[in-house]
Amino acid sequence: MYNDNPTLNINKEIDESKQGQAFFKEGIKGDKKFYIESYGCQMNFSDSEIVASILADIGYQPTRNIEETNLIFINTCSIREKAEDNVRKRLRIFDKMKRKRPDLLVGVLGCMAERLKEKFLEEEKLVDMVVGPDAYRDIPKLVANAFDGEKGVNVFLSREETYADISPLRLDGNGISAFISIMRGCDNMCSFCVVPYTRGRERSRNCFTVIAEARDLFERGYKEVTLLGQNVDSYKWENPETKKVVSFAELLVMVANVSPELRVRFSTSHPKDITEEVMYAIRDHENICNYIHLPVQSGNSRILKLMNRTYDREWYMKKVDDIRRIIPDCAISSDIITGFCTETEEEHQDSLSIIKYANYSLSYMFFYSERPGTLAQRKYEDDIPLAVKKRRLAEVIEVQRAVSIAENEKDIGKVFKVLIEGNSKRSDDFYKGRNSQNKMTIFQKKGDFKPGDYVQVKITESTMATLKGEIVL
């Protein structure tokens, strides 16, 4: 999931507050300080925590005050042109800071680093270091060399690196929810997507290190973990001693068994790989959340074939039916792209209708942005005018808005178990938290409950993006 334009996100509470922010955690010793900005998907935010841990090991302390930092890293995304434009704007701001402070170092991490490589160093001369997603262990050497005046680049893509032995430094500071990366890379060569070229091939992390990380988080007071991967459903780890292969469904249950008080979420699923075993795991474990992000991208079979999604409209609809049959109260969300190469008005209508069929609780919606090096860029003409793309996107947004409103209205009168995350944005007299279906819920403070507690909330009102209710004692 990715959103670089919050106005396109039906659920404005989800993730947008994190985008483009730096995060801070106190208690790390060291005189040198670093500042990280992260953009794009949840994997990037998880990677920033790995980088933070590596920097902490060499004496760097995180800061949210950019004026006092010695080292700036910006963790980037290449999924759309606008995302890259935003990063370039930030780099130009950092470059002005460097002109005033010659001792300040700036580095680019993540997908743009891998894709553009030496361009940042040699042509634009905006940064001192360029580090790809599989080269973060090399950061201490690159930083040391940069302070000696040597520009550094490492964008090597590994077939083995999972950072399983690195304990991430949790940077968001809420102490309640955390990401756990379970795999890296992607083998799904969707024609529109640059991820396989910037993050490499799929490789799964040792399941025992995942369980250990989840247990450690729970013992430190965390109440929710999200298992992350470009396609978590293709997780597959073979025990080198027993040769037993652990599937994603099995891993999901193993994490859920850490404690019934630890909620488990996951992202992202590819429709072709999610199995009934995963659905049954959700059904049978109360602490595995009833929420599946199932990106459709398009509701039309011909466009799906051009996108190389490996399924058609009818197959996807059957998968939705399976989810509804096995987990009747499961919320489903999606990604939708409008204006893909050669898309007709009739095919666009198929995307509108599949939103209604699936009853998505929310969708991440974008118009097609051609990415250099992808199959679509090499093979297809980007022939849909921008105005048409935007108009179709507006229509998708409007349909999803109506579906979201109707879906949330169905929850009025129901009681949900909600994990308190903190104060509402609008008032300290109210708490906010999510139910199992990942719906943001706002409710007035009552009793001695605090962030990290579970409460029963009866829904009394709803909006397009939020449920409102009251604690039921």
Tens of pLDDT, residue by residue over 306-359, are: 999 999 999 999 999 999 999 999 999 999 999 999 999 999 999 999 999 999
Predicted local distance difference test score (pLDDT) of residue 123: 58
Residue indicated by tokens 């007299």: 429
Task: With CA atoms as reference, report the closest residue to 433 among 263, 283, 260, 269.
Answer: 263
> Residue 277 phi/psi, 5° resolution?
-60, -40
Buried (b) or exposed (e) across 125-153, using 16+ Cβ within 10 A? ebbbbbbbbbbbbbbeebbeebeeeebbb
Amino acid at 45: F
Percent of the chain with pLDDT over 90: 70
Q: Give all strands of the β-sheet with 32-38 in edge-to-edge order.
A: 60-62, 32-38, 71-76, 105-110, 129-131, 152-154
Distance CA 281, CA 283 (A): 5
Predicted local distance difference test score (pLDDT) of residue 173: 62
CA distances from residue 179 to 47, 227, 307, 351 in whole angstroms, order as listed: 10, 6, 29, 31
For 19-154, CATH number out of 3.40.1710.10, 3.40.50.1580, 3.40.640.10, 3.40.50.12160 equals: 3.40.50.12160
Buried (b) or exposed (e) across 162-199, using 16+ Cβ within 10 A? bbbebebbbbbeebbbbbbbbbbbbebebbbbbbbbbb
- Greatest Cα pair distance in the chain: 64
CATH topology for 415-471 is OB fold (Dihydrolipoamide Acetyltransferase, E2P) (2.40.50)
Predicted local distance difference test score (pLDDT) of residue 84: 78
pLDDT under 50: residue ranges of the chain: 1-29
Q: Give all strands of the β-sheet with 291-293 in edge-to-edge order.
A: 291-293, 331-338, 362-367
Predicted local distance difference test score (pLDDT) of residue 377: 94
Class of domain 177-409: alpha beta
Predicted local distance difference test score (pLDDT) of residue 28: 41
Buried (b) or exposed (e) across 284-296, using 16+ Cβ within 10 A? ebebbbbbbbbbb
Residue spans per domain, the chain: 19-154, 177-409, 415-471
Distance CA 345, CA 336 (A): 15
- Contact in structure between 243 and 237 (CB atoms under 8 Å): no
Helices (H) and strands (E) in the chain, counts: 14, 21
Q: How far apart are the first and last CA of the chain?
A: 36
Predicted local distance difference test score (pLDDT) of residue 347: 98
Residue indicated by tokens 């795991």: 281
Distance CA 176, CA 225 (A): 9
* Sequence-distant (≥ 6) Cβ neighbours of residue 206 within 8 angstroms: 162, 164, 237
